[in-house]
Structure 1
Amino acid sequence: MDYALELIFILKAWRVFVLVIGILGNWKVAKGDNEHAGRKLVDNVPGFISIDCGATEDYLDDVTGIFYKSDTGFIDTGTNSNISPENYNLNLDYGRQTRNLRSFPQGKKNCYTLKPEQGKNSNYLIRPFFNYGNYDNNNKIPKFDVYVGVNYMYTVELDGVDITLFTDIIHVPTSDIIYVCLINTGFGIPFISALELRPLDKSLYPFDFGALKRGWRFDLGTTTGTQEDYISFSLSYLRYKDDVYDRLWYTYGALPNSVPINTASDIDVQNSNDSYQPPSDVLKTAVQPSSGYRSLSFYDPTNYTGESYACFHFAEIAKLTQGRKREFIIDVNEGSYISEPITLDYLKPLSICLDQIFKGQVHFVINATAGSDLPPILNAFELYTVISQFDLHKPTNSRDVAAIMDINKTLRISREDWQADPCVPITWSGLTCNSDDTPMIISLNLSSSKLTGEIPFSLFNLTALQNLDLSYNELTGNVPKFLAQLPNLKTLNLSGNQLNGSVPEDLIQKSRNGSLIFIFGKKPDLCFSVPCTKEKKKPKRELIVALVATSMVVLVLLLLIFCALAIYKRKRRERASRSNFKIKNRQYNYSEVVRITDNFKTIIGEGGFGKVYLGILKDETQVAVKLLSASSKQGYKEFRAEAQLLMIVHHKNLVSLVGYCDEGENKALIYEYMTNGNLQQYLSVTNTNVLNWNKRLQIAVDAAHGLEYLHNGCKPPIIHRDLKTSNILLNENMQAKIADFGLSRAFATENDSHVSTNPAGTLGYLDPESQTSGNLNKKSDVYSFGIVLFELITGRPAIMRGREKNTHILDWVYPIIKRGDIGSVVDPRLQGEFYTNSAWKAVEIAMSCIPSPAILRPDMSQVLVELKECLDLEIAHGRSQTLAIEANETTSSTPFIVSSMELQSDIAALAR
């Protein structure tokens, strides 16, 4: 009996457990389905940025299926408000987005920051919405300007409290960030209801004359819409999901002396060759001339006097009987802009955007040709107003922008108007900019801004700066020497801070000779004499004896130290006389470096020491001058190490040292100038000049020559320690040379097997074994070279950045090699133009460089031999063009399958 009761209890408990699990499972499935649905809805519109300004949460719009975000994260200024309920717009296409808004009672310029996935030089449709709705209960509609970046687009002027204004802008930005700014012009507080950005196919709306705005799109042949509706902005329209780009198409009805026609057949726009993809519903209706007419015409009824741009959309929706044809031409503003007559295919879209702009109101006529049996048709057309390139402005100098942004970040400056471009259209508070074609900052006043920390080095990049006021803050640290190197600085005010140490001699001298007004206030912690000597109180009589006795002890100690140093220096000189480190190149003084670089006018890069400047010697030879920055973590020892090392290194594939400067705190290395920059730039996806396969192999051979010389041609051998694509430079003949030995170290003796030190290197290139052991040797460089070789092969960086995580190039390439898919390994920009044999061999060489343990890696001499053979394969293939060799290539796939299988086993052994 007890056993039965126990069994019943267990069964009941089990039922409860199963029920709970079922409930939790259903809840999880429902939750997962909802999350999946949300992702799917977002993924349906990739690249869309849809912002409901003033909204408190994100949501999915029920009508359009577009996911809207609140503007949190897009802007930090402004105030959220709701319009008056009686002014809710009942238009379902954009009603919800206009029921709230964000207004900007503070500041003259307030900007939204948009970061589209496609980045710069892509085509975008930008559409702000404005609905006043008497949100402030003042019944006074404001007027203000809209800018995209630094360029004026239009003025917002609403005709009524309940009117919604939206104007399309088609814009190609020159940077990865797009700023949409509202400018207070003194006629009321700016506001915005919604902001939308839509990426367009790059082939759409081709123009090189500025930007497009207004964006009227007319869907002809519908049952509604007239010219009067067009003038009064009362047309209805369709948008996404009918239009994949979310363009708004207005129902316009018929043109003068025309009749509507339509079809029930679907028009497949997505699978056509027409990248404009006008909606199928737009193309299913059209107009043709009324009976007795042979042309269609349109006159813009507005009083627009600027420039216009036009596009036409056609689709034959009548099934023509055999032998009949429809053929026509287009005239715009009394000029023919289509050289050949237009004919249409049944149910196939055809879009034509004219590559010219037209002055004033647009008037077009579509005429049937003499040989046409049927009159012309028109399904839809678009009109835009043009913002001329002559009305566009250039943004602030990019170096100044980067500098002021870094200053803002470093000093944590809190000013609401420090948004978007610092100079255009409204200058940030505290800044003054010049009026050059490309503006630059000439004055910076940050007085009494509660700034803390040290004076940032980024100020050094404001080369046009004339006046700098940092007074009455809480800045600490030394007065940096680079302030004296600002070429145009005329006034410097550092008073009222917590600065200490010595004022740089150059600043004092400039102050004394009148070239600089230097205001520093009364600060006892600063020393202003040259050389620096602070006044001290005279010691009391009773301290004199103690001071004299102490001085005698100190003198004796100093004498002993001097003797020890003299012995040490003599032995060091003796060792140096036996060493190969003999500095034979020319030594320059600092004034010569200033002259060579034209007062550090042109920055061409930045290395471990600091900025790299373009220089010109007296014989007009271009050089690269690497200047040791005041903030560099590397010091005198590292500088001397690099200088001495480079003096003995001479090879055609290593960057040569022309000379050096070692004058007090001013230190510089002067290299030969490499015209074509570095390899990393050439492999970047933004570089349109794609390196062909032959050139990539030649660069690999050149770099291998240089590294092999460092390892085996130098006595003692040299380890580079930071080999990467940015340290492989290219001269005017695209010959590769290895650069930047700032992290290099020579072996202590020829017989030493490794250098034990803190690994420097760069993430992605550093041997994993070295990261854990701290031992850097030749095989560490071989690993780095293998990564460089994979970058040359694949066109991908060592570390591929992702939204959720970063991927190492080896983790990406291993599975593809394992599949034996060489076509997916090699850079797709080569479009298959490479010899499969040489590609597989290059992969095999790269794979041989990266095994762990390092003992399995070859010496660079062996790598060089293999790479030369790989290059010879490619050259031989290029010279062989006969059909016999092509047939041989076709039948030679088996060895490469075997090679792929061998690589698979290698991967298993090399798995990290």
Structure 2
Amino acid sequence: MWITVNTDNTIKEILHVSKSNTLQVCLVKTGTSIPYINTLELRPLADDIYTNESGSLNYLFRVYYSNLKGYIEYPDDVHDRIWKQILPYQDWQILTTNLQINVSNDYDLPQRVMKTAVTPIKASTTTMEFPWNLEPPTSQFYLFLHFAELQSLQANETREFNVVLNGNVTFKSYSPKFLEMQTVYSTAPKQCDGGKCLLQLVKTSRSTLPPLINAMEAYTVLDFPQIETNVDEVIAIKNIQSTYGLSKTTWQGDPCVPKKFLWDGLNCNNSDDSTPPIITSLNLSSSGLTGIIVLTIQNLANLQELDLSNNNLSGGVPEFLADMKSLLVINLSGNNLSGVVPQKLIEKKMLKLNIEGNPKLNCTVESCVNKDEEGGRQIKSMTIPIVASIGSVVAFTVALMIFCVVRKNNPSNDEAPTSCMLPADSRSSEPTIVTKNKKFTYAEVLTMTNNFQKILGKGGFGIVYYGSVNGTEQVAVKMLSHSSAQGYKQFKAEVELLLRVHHKNLVGLVGYCEEGDKLALIYEYMANGDLDEHMSGKRGGSILNWGTRLKIALEAAQGLEYLHNGCKPLMVHRDVKTTNILLNEHFDTKLADFGLSRSFPIEGETHVSTVVAGTIGYLDPEYYRTNWLTEKSDVYSFGVVLLVMITNQPVIDQNREKRHIAEWVGGMLTKGDIKSITDPNLLGDYNSGSVWKAVELAMSCMNPSSMTRPTMSQVVFELKECLASESSREVSMTFGTEVAPMAR
């Protein structure tokens, strides 16, 4: 519970240390009126300022002293704090200076705040008093006082005072430094008797000048005793919500806390306030579920009861349910499940399993529950479908062979490329690729590459050579290395993908060679190599300017968007990185290397469970952790690419304190200065707004939870806006208008 809002035109502010990578702010109806909000803003702060024991502070006041009425806020304050101006009392005066104040003590107060201070008019005045009241009176608070001496003191002058809070000296014999900001703050929370607080600055006996102060802030302690739900379980339950399209009103915010707003259908164990709550029960009975029982359920590692009854679930009963150690009750009754109940699940001790009302499921309640009494019946019920399945396979194989013979004898009926799935030479388990006008012989490959004379590059697949077809069309020929870890599966996958997809931002396949162990892919030639060569300087030439980088990012994003939305079924690239983004002679961009790509073969399927593949640093951590592949894994990798283009920093740097580029950028963002992040080779020649937008987009792409990442369609839209902003800057500069980069 943060605050109760009951008036119009209200601004509430909190300093909060999040315990996870996600944050939920919920508006809860308290009366007859409907909650509403105009704006929600998040601002990063360094973790070594506003330190406190509770982790959260509620804004009380933030003031500075000046004769000029008004507020100071962004862009003067890089952290977007709002400073309220206070006029001096009748016997106080305002000191000002036009000189720069050194404000680099991490709090980063605006120059305008620190260039003024308040002090008594009479030098003989010994005490300055600042009273305020607390509501409720028992509130604890933290106080932050900001000082800088604005007068150049003579040799015989001294300004020294004690900081006294509620009659207790909290800082003794303090002298502000000339034109240098210092912050004095309470290291432990304070309270005031009856809620009536009094701060006093008391002149010491050796001081010739009265006290002064430039600005002060106060925050009350906000205690959030309930720890947020275990982050892995939050990701799992939200993935379940997304997969099944659950639109339950109560399924908002944190699943388990506050207890009063626990998600409907969940039970949580949150008895121990020192550890994150865990989900122990999930009841989705009669929730209109369709499709299969999703793999992500296994990530609810502490689940004891699972009720998926009275839905329209199809497919088999997954074996992973037997591997969930805490699971004691499973209710799958009243669905449309089929196949055989896994033996491992039947034999699991202490498990209560209900599968009634699934007519296609080959295990009755009696045979599953009373297996000790009716073992013979159980075996019989499971053997028949296996025999039937084998028979089906034999029948299908015979039919397929007849089909192939018929097709062979009727070539005029070939309206589309077909594959007859016959064994291919030594790779007897792998089907060959059958297509038209795309297959080259090995002799033709030797001719087009002039016996592999010119090497363009090397990769995990093998060596890439320069070539030309018929002496006119330039090509790049990628030969499969015998030691390649990718192998024939990836070769076949890439050929089949590129034969059926066509987009201006995907590299075109001219043809391929499959002759014994000689495997080659022949692509259109990209004269300017890959993006990594340009970013690292390996290729030489001029630095890619910001506008060109945005164009490259946009075109690569459009290629990915086509794979995700233009392909049926959708494709996931799985290896998006700078070396797989190629550039032609006009710096037009094409995405390449589809050997690891995967499709979603079942219509409506939102993910596939697969062995993890990709490149370290670019690999989606959620996919790595769960083996659950979605198109959002490509979005994560694209976010890494975008950060590389912005910063020109390595993805992984063992010499950095924060080794991964996302962690490094996240740390730098707290400073609020885009120059500390942007590639210094750009020399500040960019629209800072477009860079900020690109950084924010990249970080959102790399959100730990795939559910909250944008789609590639949203990424394309945002990049178009970035490019438009940068293009308008270039046009305005042409007409002599300067656009100065600003911190945001």
TM-score by length of 1: 0.41
Bigger Rg, structure 1 or 2: 1
TM-score by length of 2: 0.50
